[in-house]
Amino acid sequence: MTWAPLLLSLEIATIAMIVSLVVGSGLALLLGWRKLPARDLVDAVVSAPLVLPPTVLGYYLFTALGVFGTTFVFNFRGAVIAATVGSLPLVVRTVRVGLESVEPNLVAAARTLGASPARVLATVTLPLAGPGIAAAAMLGFARALGDYGITQVVASAHFEGIGIPYTSPASIYMYDQFIGGHEDSARAMAIVTTILGVAILFTANRLTRRLYHRG
């Protein structure tokens, strides 16, 4: 039994969470703009990873990234991109809930007090949407931690992490152990990832509830 797969997954999930939070917050702001052309279409494309089979997503990503040779496929970078794409719609949707929970009058008040749109965003909208953004980060992390299908297609089952020797992410490792008859290590990995996932969801739920209970 080795914990390197779990460390590899935590590494991938951390980077994927940061990237999806930055990109996802930008997309959430863009989708909140009522005058955005083809807003519903953009929303549908961003949300597609929620409904597409992971292998289909993996195929699209592999085809797109394959243009650059093996720079972004069959390695850690590919795994990060796969996990980011998988978690992006959850992040976008949760950040949007956070942004929409900010009372429009507070934004209007800030504007009438002479604040530019960028200052309103930095000093009023984002701080008040904070619990939603934190919940989005946690959900994105949890989703990235549990990715199997997209990662398998884009990054393959084995690769190196940053300072982590050649191994598999936790989800793939657990499946390999199970199929290979190593039930003890499969069970241990399953229990640890479950505890992590539930703890993250529990915290995200509490943060989301703060949005609704904020006076």
Partner 1 sequence: MAELACEIELHRGDGFALAVELRCPPGITCVMGASGSGKSTVLGVLAGLVVPDRGRVVVGGDVWLDRDKGVDLPVHHRRLAYVFQGLALFPHMSARHNVEYGMHDVPRADRPAKARALLARLGVGHLAERRPRTFSGGEAQRVALARALARSPKLVLLDEPFSALDRDLRAQLVALVRELATELAVPVVHVTHSVAEARALADRVVRLDRGKVVAAGAPDEVLRVGED
Residue (117 or 180) nearer to partner 1, CB: 117
Residue (12 or 99) nearer to partner 1, CB: 99
Q: Smallest gap, in angstroms, from Cβ of residue 18 to partner 1?
A: 24
Q: Smallest gap, in angstroms, from Cβ of residue 40 to partner 1?
A: 19
Residue (165 or 215) nearer to partner 1, CB: 215
Q: Smallest gap, in angstroms, from Cβ of residue 43 to partner 1?
A: 22
Where do contacts with partner 1 occur on this chain (CB under 8 A)?
103, 105-106, 108-117, 123-124, 127-128, 214-215
Residue (56 or 115) nearer to partner 1, CB: 115
User: What DSSP line would sit under the chain, residue for residue?
Assistant: --SHHHHHHHHHHHHHHHHHHHHHHHHHHHHT-TT-TTHHHHHHHHHGGGTS-HHHHHHHHHHHHGGGTTSSSSSHHHHHHHHHHHHHHHHHHHHHHHHHTS-HHHHHHHHHTT--HHHHIIIIIHHHTHHHHHHHHHHHHHHHHT--HHHHHHH-S-B--SS--SB--HHHHHHHHHHTT-HHHHHHHHHHHHHHHHHHHHHHHHHHHHHHH--
Q: Smallest gap, in angstroms, from Cβ of residue 100 to partner 1?
A: 16
